[in-house]
């Protein structure tokens, strides 16, 4: 043991600490948890009882020697770095760095293009809160009390103990932004909205028909994140309420949008479906632009991709919002901006939109739609 102590003392005293990177090497070799000093302390239990006290004192002195040398040299290197000229390490032969322009996020590009397309046929923009109450998110939209969308597996509910909060989408200039309080008193019935249909209810409550608006914004659902799903995504919903509105009007609006966004040759189909707030209801499918209808992971090998749901506004929804269903009718639809963007730019993984990978985002430099 004595020979090992003497050898290690000589190594510590002779160790060269001229460069900053050698400090970390010194710490690991001697004072770290797996260093040589730690090994000697582990061997102390093998020393005879009558010698253990003296050997232990020598080990403590050796450890203090190593710590003092490390601390002193660390302070000297830090002082030298602070006193060094600011440009001492600058290489003046390097070429200048070019100024680079930022890029628009693909979701913003597509959202603004969707707004432009619908504005050309008379739709304005309405917005509402992201923290919503049960009435505007579910009850007023004809959701029964036992509907699965009310279950915790789908919805982020706000705990009653949460502090007052107000979230607005706040990312787009609104032609008709709905007035909402700046402070919400959170109750057990508050939640992160699961769709922007809550804005439709607020719109019908606040004005009389005719109503022709789209509602872009963030929505939240308690889902596992994958290439096809995310817990936070973006929607654009639309609402048209007036006298004598028919399903034919809805279909022509959808045809117009799809052809303006993807081209005149795109194929569209409507599949019967069910939504609590529309009757009749349909899902909107278009040809998968990623595989050209051949089948891929995005379209689940079917060749078709669902881009949204639609239908005629249920009379109960109109009546609960203060609109006479005997005089007025309307249609509504909703589309995911991420899904439209994936098809527009043939992106195969939804997670790319939120990873902030510059290699992905730089592909949209100079992209302008509309």
Cis bond before residue 210 (omega within 30° of 0):
yes
Report which of 31, 19, 38 is spatially closest to residue 64, judged by C-alpha positions: 31
Beta bridge partner(s), residue 232: 220
Q: Do the annotations mark residue 279 as ligand-binding?
A: yes
The Cβ of residue 40 has, within 10 Å, a number of other Cβ atoms equal to 18
SS3 of the chain: CHHHHHHHHHHHHHCCCCCHHHHHHHHHHHHCCCCHHHHHHHHHHHCCHHHHHHHHHHHHHHHHHHHHHHHHHHHHHHHHHHHCCCCCCCCCCCCCCCCCCCCCCHHHHHHHHHHHHHHCCCCEECCCECEECHHHHCHHHCCCCCCHHHCCCCCCECCCCCCCECCECCCCCCCCCCCCCCCECCCCCCEECCCCHHHHHHHHHHCCCCEEEEEEEEEECCCCCCCCCCCEEEEEEEEEEECCCCHHHHHHHHHHHHHHHHCCCCCEEEEEEEECCEEEEEEEEEECCCCCCCCCCCCCCCCEEEEEEEEEECHHHHHHCCCCCCCCEEEEEEEEHHHHHHHHHCCCCHHHHHCCCHHHHHHHCCCCCC
Binding residues: 279
Binding residues for Mg(2+): 279
């Amino acid at each position: 043991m004595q020979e090992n102590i003497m050898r290690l003392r000589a190594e510590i005293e002779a160790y060269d600490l001229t460069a900053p990177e050698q400090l970390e090497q010194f710490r690991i070799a001697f004072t770290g948890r797996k260093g040589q000093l730690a090994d000697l302390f582990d061997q102390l239990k093998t020393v005879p009882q009558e010698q253990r006290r003296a050997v232990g004192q020598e080990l403590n002195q050796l450890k203090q020697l190593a710590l003092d040398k490390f601390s002193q040299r660390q302070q000297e290197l830090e002082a030298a770095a602070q006193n060094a000229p600011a440009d001492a390490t600058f290489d003046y032969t390097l070429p200048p760095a070019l100024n680079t322009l930022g890029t628009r996020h693909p979701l913003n590009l597509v959202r603004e293009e969707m707004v432009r397309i619908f504005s050309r046929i008379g739709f304005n923009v309405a917005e509402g809160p992201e923290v919503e109450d049960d009435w505007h998110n579910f009850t007023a939209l004809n959701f029964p009390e036992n509907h699965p969308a009310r279950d915790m597996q789908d919805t982020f509910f706000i705990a009653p103990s949460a502090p007052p909060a107000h979230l607005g989408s706040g990312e787009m200039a609104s032609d008709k932004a709905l007035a909402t309080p700046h402070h919400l008193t959170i109750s057990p019935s508050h939640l992160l909205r699961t769709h922007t249909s809550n804005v439709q209810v607020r719109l019908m409550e606040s004005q009389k028909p005719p109503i022709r608006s789209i509602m872009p914004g963030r929505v939240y659902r308690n889902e596992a994140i994958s290439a096809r799903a995310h817990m936070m995504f973006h929607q654009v919903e639309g609402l048209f309420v007036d006298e004598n509105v028919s399903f034919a009007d809805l279909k022509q609006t959808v045809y117009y949008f799809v052809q303006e966004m993807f081209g005149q040759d795109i194929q569209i189909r409507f599949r019967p479906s069910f939504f609590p707030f529309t009757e009749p209801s349909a899902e909107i499918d278009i040809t998968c632009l990623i595989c050209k209808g051949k089948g891929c992971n995005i379209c689940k090998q079917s060749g078709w991709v669902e881009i949204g749901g639609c239908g005629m506004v249920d009379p109960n929804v109109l009546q609960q919002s203060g609109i006479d269903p005997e005089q007025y009718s309307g249609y509504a639809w909703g589309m995911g901006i991420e899904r439209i963007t994936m098809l527009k730019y043939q992106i195969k993984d939804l997670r790319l939109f939120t990873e902030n990978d510059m290699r992905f985002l730089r592909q949209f430099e100079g992209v302008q739609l509309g």
